[in-house]
Amino acid sequence: MQEDKKQEQGHITKQNAVMIGLICLMVGFIIGVVYSSNKLKPTAVVPENNQTIDYSQKEKELKNALSQNLKDASAWVQLGHVYFETDQYAKAIDAYKKFLSIEPGNANVLTDLGVMYRYNRQHQDAIKSFDEAISADPKHEWARFHKGGVLMNDLNQKRLALTVWEELFSINPFFMSSKDQSLDQLITHYKEH
């Protein structure tokens, strides 16, 4: 009887170990998803409380800094972000290009430049900029996502867009194209329509 209890306790311990292992896997998965979603925010994001940012004041401060030092890459990229956030596409393009002339090959800035080209209806320049970002960082997810968007929505190249998005899916199957839509849902949607 005593030995049966020990075996039963040992069996319960094994069950507990399996349950603990499964719980650890689930927690790890959830942490990975949260980490990925936070890591993959668009590159030109300004703090969420952007209502409190005085963009005209920020622009003046950055222009003043640049009047002192035209080689201030940080000021150029920040100025580009100000223009990005205030929908001044041509000015953002100019600021990002000046940054890239000082620090070439920055995949995040090349991606932001591509987005500004797209908004400025310079679709071929956008594709070129996204390709440069991907060349600088072959796993750059936002460059691939936006490239697919230009191909799909602006250049009507559905097959090529789906190929780009499928490559992105192979890099990160948990990529979210928006808060409510995963990349695989987006791909399925366009394949069906």
pLDDT tens for residues 115-155?
A: 999 999 999 999 999 999 999 999 999 999 999 999 999 99
Could you report the per-residue pLDDT of 64-123, keeping only the tens digit for each?
A: 999 999 999 999 999 999 999 999 999 999 999 999 999 999 999 999 999 999 999 999
Q: What are phi and psi of 182, to 5 degrees?
A: -80, 160
Q: In degrees, to the nearest 5, what angle opens at C-alpha 118 toward C-alphas 167 and 100? A: 85
DSSP type of residue 174:
T
* Whole-number Å distance between alpha carbons of 15 and 7: 12
Looking at residue 118, its pLDDT comes to: 97
Using a cut of 0.85, tell me whether the model's pTM lies above it. Answer: no
Q: In degrees, to the nearest 5, what angle opens at C-alpha 7 toward C-alphas 6 and 11? A: 115
Question: Is 39 exposed, middle or buried (CB count within 10 Å of its CB: 0-12, 13-18, 19+)?
Answer: exposed
Tokens of 70: 């035209």
Higher-confidence residue: 166 or 193? Answer: 166
Closest to 130 in 3D by CA, of 73, 113, 162: 113
Could you report the per-residue pLDDT of 3-60, keeping only the tens digit for each?
A: 555 445 545 566 655 555 555 555 454 554 444 434 333 344 444 555 578 899 999 9
